[in-house]
Amino acid sequence: MKKTKETTAVPVVPSSTPAKPRGRPLSFDRDTALDRAMHVFWERGYEAASISDLTAAMGITPPSLYTAFGDKERLFLEAIERYGKGPGGFGRRALEEEPTARGAVQRLLEEAAAELTQACHPLGCMMVMATTNCSVAAEHVQNALAKRRALGVDLMRDRIQQGIADGELPADTSASALATFYATVYQGMSMQAKDGAPRESLLLSVEMAMRSWPAAPPRAVKKRAAAAA
């Protein structure tokens, strides 16, 4: 059994949305069906989720699945997009909304500790878990998901690079290496959550990981002190 290369991951909203099929109106709510399919893929993974598993959860027949979504692969990719815009959307929001790079990364990881352990949906990150241990037959799906994970790392790298430009981090900081490190922490948290680790345990991991954040340059420290005065 051949495995494709794994990449580190952070949640990210995918950049495109598949077109919905044209033709007769569907006899079921497409969004509800897609949400249910997302949970099946999240819980069982891409290959382990059979068409019968999916249609049973979605409350539709196989012909209705093919009419509405095309095939299993396209359904999975659309479910991944739904995940990125829903349960997995906290990562992008943290990177965009926090005023500092450190604050953005710390918020991302702390919110991950809560989201990855929610009892209302499968444990762990769908982006990380859904194509684990797939065969060569699913290589195309694995590659597509790897690109989406890489995009998440790129977003974190860009936010860290902005922190360097703003003088928040030392000028010689490697934004790429730091982003890869924290994305690896995130991926490990996802695996721990899948194995049943509670939120409190993951938060301790976040606390330890943030101790590796590069110390701020003296000028940045003085600037923060002046702002707080």
User: What are 53-65's pLDDT values in tens digits?
Assistant: 999 999 999 999 9
Which amino acid belongs to residue 108? L
Q: At what angle do helices 90-97 and 139-165 cross, to 10 degrees?
A: 20
> Residue 135's pLDDT is what?
79
Smallest Cα–Cα separation from 105: which of 200, 214, 18?
214
Domains with residue ranges and CATH for the chain: 30-84 (1.10.10.60), 88-214 (1.10.357.10)
> Residue 23's pLDDT is what?
53
> Residue 24's pLDDT is what?
60
> Residue 2's pLDDT is what?
44
**Which contiguous run of DSSP H or E holds residue 199?**
helix 199-210
Q: Rounded distance, CA 181 to CA 200, Å?
A: 21
For the whole model, what pTM was predicted? 0.83
> Residue 131's pLDDT is what?
82
Nearest-5° Cα angle at 43, 18 to 6: 70
> Residue 8's pLDDT is what?
56
Half-sphere exposure of 153 (CA within 13 A, CB side): 24
Average pLDDT, the chain: 88
Those residues of the chain that have pLDDT short of 50 are 1-6, 13-19
> Residue 139's pLDDT is what?
87
